[in-house]
Amino acid sequence: MSDGLPAHDFIDAYEVLGVDPSAGQDAIKAAYRRLATRHHPDIAHGDERSATARMQTINIAYGLIAQPEARRRYDRFRRAHQARTAFAGADETWAQMVRAAGQWVGQQTRQRRAGWYRAGYTVGRWLRE
């Protein structure tokens, strides 16, 4: 994309603007103006390219929640995104649990076998007796 953000990145507009999701339109507008005066490329000192990218992110976030209808659509999308990401790590967590259980079973088996060998109960010795 031309705005410096990958197409798959989710922008949490409330987090970018530093407002609560229950904030009113006036609070959102005030937060946008405060950030715009701080990060505008003509005002911000330092790297102009990073200031431009930051300002574009602020503009996108404000555009997502500035109007009431757009904000309702964004809030629905945000809830759906949060629900999807809540279970994103479940497959990896399950795989880790299965791997840990397998390691535990293997460790228990090795300990049992080691105990038999320490006690002298090997198949060869049993057959010799």
pLDDT in tens, 72-106: 999 998 988 888 777 766 667 777 787 888 777 77
* pTM score of the predicted model: 0.59
Is pLDDT of 32 > 60? Answer: yes
pLDDT given for residue 117 in this prediction: 55
Q: How is the chain split into domains, by residue range?
A: 13-86, 93-128
Question: Tokens 């809540």 map to which residue?
Answer: 86
- Residues 42-66 have a mean pLDDT of 86
pLDDT given for residue 82 in this prediction: 83
Nearest to 39 by CA among 58, 26, 25: 58
**Does domain 13-86 sit in CATH 1.10.287.110?**
yes
Is pLDDT of 6 > 50? Answer: no
pLDDT given for residue 116 in this prediction: 55
pLDDT given for residue 7 in this prediction: 45
Q: Would you state the structure tokens that stand for residue 38, as one six-digit string?
A: 């701080």
Is pLDDT of 50 > 80? Answer: yes
Nearest to 67 by CA among 31, 35, 25: 25
